[in-house]
Amino acid sequence: MRESLGVIYLALGRPYLSMALLSASSLRDSNPDMPFTMVTNVMREPPVGDVFEEERDSWFFVDVDTKDNRLLKTDILKYCQYEKVIYLDCDTFVLGDLGSAGKILDYFDIGMRLKRKPQRRVGKGEVDVLGGMKVQDLPHWNSGVILARNTSLAWQFFQDWHDKYVELGNCYDQVALVPVVFQSPARFLSLEDRWNATDPGIGRKAWKKEVIVYHYATNICDRLFNQIVSKDRLILPDQYSAEETPRFLRRKRLLKRSQMSYFRYLAINALWRISSPIGS
């Protein structure tokens, strides 16, 4: 293993590679010495002129269908060359120092953020997962940021997660994650919100002092939108349509509408245009 601590991204599909490239740029800005690995089915080689450094970073092209994203995510350690791993979803922005992950992984095999409220989303919450209990009856973790120590226990954790995902046949990897956390012998740590934070809207100044990784999901403000599209332009023109990523981002924004009341959505939509959690 070349490095003791590094980041890995799984970017299947052009929009996800565009977001992952932006996340990698934020990683380089905030953690300049941290190596990263990109696993993608879009480009065989990294884009010229971006943050990728051949001597330090790694690029894996995988010839798989984009819909197989979660099959690879639940088996991601097979691509890792680091003793200690930080997996980041593509729709993340690194704002703080990731170095403390190394210390955490001296004591734990796996770490993910515990969600504060029960999972009641249709397609997730009602699924039977453990002794007749449903996901909504149990603690639930977000897998957008994962700390993992490259040990046999962590490998077994991911293998069990992968097998449970295949067994359940549910499109959400976090459903399969719940029973595995309960049953695995791996030392599991529930991380604080700062490792996988959402935008508070109000009170960002204090929020940014604490946040390590911002996970924006469907909360795509204008600044994020434009920066993702800028990264998209680095992708070779023959790799699918150049309009694919902007269309994808607009659909993500519309998905936000389905998650809240109309008037709250209007307020957030206005905030997207005049404000950004990632700075000016």
In the chain, domain spans: 3-195, 219-274
- Written as one letter, the residue type at 197 is A
Superfamily in which the 3-195 domain is placed by CATH: Spore Coat Polysaccharide Biosynthesis Protein SpsA; Chain A (3.90.550.10)
Backbone angles phi, psi at 4, to 5 degrees: -80, -30
The DSSP letter of residue 46 is: P
Q: What is the pLDDT of residue 240?
A: 59
pTM of the entire predicted model: 0.94
Task: Return the exposure string of 84-116: e unless at least 16 CB atoms fall within 10 Å of the residue's CB, then b.
Answer: bbbbbbbbbbbbbebeebbeebeebbbbbbeee
pLDDT tens digits for range 63-92: 999 999 999 999 999 998 899 999 999 999
Which residue, 73, 99, 89, 72, is CA-closest to 6?
Answer: 99
Closest CA to 24 of 112, 99, 80, 90: 90
pLDDT tens by residue, 213-255: 999 999 999 999 999 999 999 997 655 577 899 999 999 998 8
